[in-house]
Every structure is written in C-alpha cells, then in structure tokens.
Structure 1
Amino acid sequence: MTTNFHRFHESWTDQLQRLTAELAKNSAHPKSPDDHHQARRLVDKVVTHYEDYYSAKAAAAQSDVLALFAAPWASSLERALHWVAGFRPTTIFHLIYTESSVRFESRVIEILRGQRTGDLGELTPHQLGRVSELQCQTVKEENEIGDELGAWQEAVARAEPGWAGMCGSGPNGLDNLLDRLVRVVTKADELRIQTLRRVVELLTPQQAIEFLVAAAELQFGIRGWGSHHDRLRAVA
C-alpha cells in the first residue's frame, strides 16, 4: 500500500500542477456571469482534487498508518514541516493574510483612488471577520487533535514492556494503538480539507483562484527546495 500511495501521490501532484496552470490562466477579474461560472467551476474542480487526495490517504492509513508519518514520497524538508502526517491547517490562514497584505500594499495607491479589481488584497471587513473566526476555531481543533496525539504517545510509553506485550489484545496492544493513531490522522485530515473548503466558500471565485494558486505554489516551492537539498546531501 505504501508503494501504491507513493505512486498516487506523484500522479496527484502532477495533476495539481496542471490544474494550477489552468487556474492561473483564469485569475483575471471575471467580467460576465459566464466568467464567474467558469471560475467557480475551476475552484470546485481543484477542491474536489484535494478531497480525492484525502480519500486515498484515508485508505492508505487503514493499511499502514506509520508509513504516512515516514512519508517516503516527501522530501526531508516537507517531513520536517509536517503536523500529524500533513500540513498544519492554520497554515491556510497565514497564507491568506500574507497574500492579502502583499496584494494590498502593491496596489494601495490604486485602491485609494477607487480602482478596484476584487482580488485578495480587497477582502471586505465581513470576510476578514469570518477568516478570523475560522482561524480561532481551527486553532482550537488543532489543539484538541494535538492532545489526542500526545495521549496516544503516552499510551505507547505505558505499553507493557517488550514486543510480546505490545502485540497483546489489551487497550495498549499494537493493533489497538495503531487503530487509535489512524483515528487521530483521520481527524487531522478532516480538519485540513474542512478548513480549505470553508476558506474557499467565503472568498469570491477570483479570490479563491488566487488563494488556491498561492497554496499550490507554496507546496511546489517547498517540495522543490526540499528535493534539491536532499540531492545535495546525497552527493556530499
């Protein structure tokens, strides 16, 4: 299953690159109802692509959850940044704030003159309020999942000494411990995709496209940088 998910991850990433290129071509301010419809269709297509990833990952977790933490398909840098076998959901909010600030600062003169494009630099007070609310809620859920992972680690430490003890059928037997870890990873992945959906829903189609492009470019950038560093280490 590890090999199967590794192949899926590579194929999924390739498809994400193609979808991101398609998004970038349609990032201009929509001028007609058809433009809005096309933008929303593309956004939904990308969100569905992420949903497919987590569906495949859930199946992989049932087969070998520990492989998701080892993540042989990821670079050392990517693994160093992982939180419960994936990206930290609150990263989404840092990205939103950063992209919004950069776009606002680059166009502040035009905005003051009343020129509007409707991009991420022009988030409304209502949108900013909703982003803040979602961030607070996500931090709370992240902390709860972190506590669950900590409790799982303590359970492993309290397991009966020796491999034979851990292979028992009690609550600290290996199978039960791994089942608990699967549930923790599943919760973390549900929070990841749920956060993505909620943020996209509160953005306009144009803003959602800009956000998804920025998120993918961040992912590709980290992956490329990490892979390059791993290659340099391999030949050193």
Structure 2
Amino acid sequence: MSGSGFNFTSFYATWFDHLHRLVDQLSSTAKDNHNSSSAPDHLVQTVMSHYSDYYRVKSMAAERDPLSVFSAPWATSLERSLHWIAGWRPTTTFHLIYTESSILFESRIFDILRGLHTGDLGDLSPSQIRRVSELQCETVEEENAITEELSEWQDDVSELLGTRTEVTGRVEGLVNIIKKADALRLRTVQKVVELLTPKQAVEFFIAAAELQFGVRGWGLDQDRQRGNDRGH
C-alpha cells in the first residue's frame, strides 16, 4: 500500500469513528423531537460538513495516488464489491429515501389518514416527492455520463498497454473521474438535504449511516472469516 493510500486509510478510520459519534447525537435529537416537526439545523449542517471534509481529503489523496484511491484500500471486500468509482453510487440516496419513507408511512398510516402530520420521512409532501423524483432523474444522467467517461478512459489505457506504451500521463484522467464521481455524491446528498425539513434530514442521515455501518460490519466479519480460513 502506498504512503498516500495509507494516510487516507488512517484518516478514514478517524473520520468513521467521528461519524459514529455524530449519529449518536442525531439519534438523541430524533428521540427528543419525536413529537415535534423541528430538529436542530446546526447538527444537520455539522454532519453535512463532516461528509464534505471526507471528500475534500479524498480529493487530495486522489491527486497524489489515484490508483490507490480507486482501489479503495480502506474499504472491506464487501464494500468494494458494491462500489461505483471508489465509493457508493449516488442514486443509492434515492433508494434509501424511498425505503425509509415507505417504512415510516406504513407504521403511521392511520395517523396520516386522519390528517395528522408526523413531519418525518413518512410524511413527505407532494412537492418534496416530485423534487426527489426530478433529482433522481438528473443524478442518473450524470452517473451514466461519468460511467461512460470511465469506460472511455479504460479503453484508452487498454490500447496503450497493448502497445506497451507508457500510461503514466493518462492517470490524470482517472483523477478527474474520481473527483467528478465524488462531487456528484456530495452534491446529491446536499440537494436532498436542502429539500427536507431538519427533522427529515436527521432521519435521512441516521438511515444512511446505519446502512454504511451495517455494510462495513458485515464486510469486516467476512474478511476476518476469510483470513481465518486461509490461516488454517
């Protein structure tokens, strides 16, 4: 593992631990505001800044060693199998919102049918639902464009390898692709959070982090199990 890759791996471990603490604060806020339509907006902004920091540092790591960042040495084998350009697919955001909204809607359907507004993700307004749908379509288009750019880069490098030509100069293209993918990931979350109420944003961040924690936990267990199997 290269020096820059190791540095980012260390950063990620610290960043991930901090995310756990932030989610604990979010969960406390969600409980305190269970019967309220509001939640501390400053905490939502703190979590958003935490994600921004992640992509800022990752961008610097990509500039130093894009191949290491693309291979994501900080992630488990399971996480890497789910990756789209060294991270989660931006459209996962919308699947998460639809899933959480459906679960909460079903759990509180009688209150909603009686006209009681819960103010949570199960109580998205028609305008919010429409905007989420529009954002999803826009994000799919951008995802596809970046995927096509990566495919073209891979084809270009493959041709150079076939002629045994030096490919070092082409690595710059991979840096730009990684940065575009990460910018889309961050921008997607920012736009979704902007259209949600603070309370809904808290619920969204909790659900997103719990998914991230769950996948990483499963991945660590599987990697340990494989390591033990190889050791015997």
State the TM-score, normalizing by the size of structure 2. Answer: 0.93
Amino acid in structure 1 at the alignment position of 2:29:
N
- In the alignment, structure 2 segments of 5+ residues that lack a partner are none
Cα gap change, 1:13 to 1:160, in 2 (>3 Å) = closer
Structure 1 residue 69 and structure 2 residue 62: aligned? no
Q: CA RMSD in A?
A: 1.4
Amino acid in structure 2 at the alignment position of 1:79:
R
- Alpha-carbon contact 2:36-2:119 (below 8 Å) kept: no
Partner residue, 1:170: none
Partner residue, 1:129: 130
1:195 to 188, 205, 209: 188
Structure 1 residue 6 and structure 2 residue 9: aligned? yes
* Whole-angstrom distance in 2 between the partners of 1:160 and 1:83: 24
State the TM-score, normalizing by the size of structure 1. Answer: 0.91
* Whole-angstrom distance in 2 between the partners of 1:230 and 1:217: 20
SS in 1 for 2:88: coil
Moved more, 21-30 or 151-160: 21-30
Cα gap change, 1:160 to 1:79, in 2 (>3 Å) = closer
* Whole-angstrom distance in 1 between the partners of 2:70 and 2:16: 18
Cα gap change, 1:180 to 1:14, in 2 (>3 Å) = same
CA-to-aligned-CA distance 1:136-166 (integer Å, 9 cap, x gap): 0000000000000000001011115465x21
- In the alignment, structure 1 segments of 5+ residues that lack a partner are 167-173
Cα gap change, 1:160 to 1:227, in 2 (>3 Å) = closer
* Whole-angstrom distance in 1 between the partners of 2:119 and 2:223: 40
Amino acid in structure 2 at the alignment position of 1:234:
G
Amino acid in structure 2 at the alignment position of 1:70:
S
The alpha-carbon deviation at position 220 of structure 1 amounts to 0.3
- Alpha-carbon contact 1:103-1:121 (below 8 Å) kept: yes
Moved more, 10-19 or 174-183: 174-183
Cα gap change, 1:12 to 1:161, in 2 (>3 Å) = same
Partner residue, 1:179: 172
Cα gap change, 1:30 to 1:186, in 2 (>3 Å) = farther
Matches within 5 A, 1:29-178: 29=34, 31=36, 36=39, 39-159=40-160, 161=162, 163=164, 165-166=165-166, 174-178=167-171
2:224 to 225, 231, 234: 231
% identical aligned pairs: 53
1:205 to 198, 212, 219: 198
Partner residue, 2:28: 25
Give the count of matched residue pairs. 224
The alpha-carbon deviation at position 234 of structure 1 amounts to 1.0
SS in 1 for 2:156: helix
The alpha-carbon deviation at position 31 of structure 1 amounts to 4.4
Partner residue, 1:171: none
